[in-house]
Amino acid sequence: MIYKIRKKMEIAGAHSLSLPYESKCNNLHGHNWIIEVEIVGTELNKENMLIDFTQISTIINKLDHQNLNEILPLLNPTAENIAKWIATVLNKKLLSKWHSENINGNNADCCPVGFPVSWLKKVREIQHGI
C-alpha cells in the first residue's frame, strides 16, 4: 500500500539574495510563503504514521517571522534553497519515503522541489566521505 500525506502552511519571513547582477532582491525584503510538504511512503512508523504532522510544523515554523539569512546562513535563501533545506531537515526524520515541497512566494511564484530520500542519503555520504 502507498500512503500519502500533505501539510500546507503559510509563513512570513524576510531575506536578501546574493545575486551577481543588479536586483532589488539583493536588498532585505519580505514575503508570505505558502509551504506545502507532501510525503509518500510504503511504510508506517510504530505510531502507524508516515510522520506526525507536528514534526512537519515544527520544521516549517523555524522559518516563520525570521530573517532567513540568519536561519540559513550558509545558503543563498532562494525559494529553491529554502525547499532544499526543508527537504534535508525532513530527510533526517524519515526512513524510506519520498517527499517534496512547493514553496509559493506571495501566492504567485512557485518552486516545487522533490528529493527522494535515497538521493539525499547519497549526497550526505559523498559530503562526509562515507
The predicted-structure confidence for 58-102, as pLDDT tens digits, reads as follows: 999 999 999 999 999 889 999 888 888 888 888 777 755 555 656
- For the sheet containing 109-116, what is the strand order? 66-67, 3-15, 29-41, 98-105, 109-116
CB 98 within 8 A of CB 117: yes
Could you tell me the CATH number of the domain that includes residue 12?
A: 3.30.479.10
Range 101-129 burial, b when 16+ CB lie within 10 A, else e: bbbbeeeeeebebebbbeebeeeeeeeee
This model's pTM is above 0.85: no
Model confidence band, residue 121 (pLDDT cutoffs 50, 70, 90): very low
Q: Domain range for residue 15?
A: 3-127
Q: Is the pLDDT of residue 44 over 70?
A: yes
pLDDT at 83: 85
- What is the tally of structural domains in the chain? 1
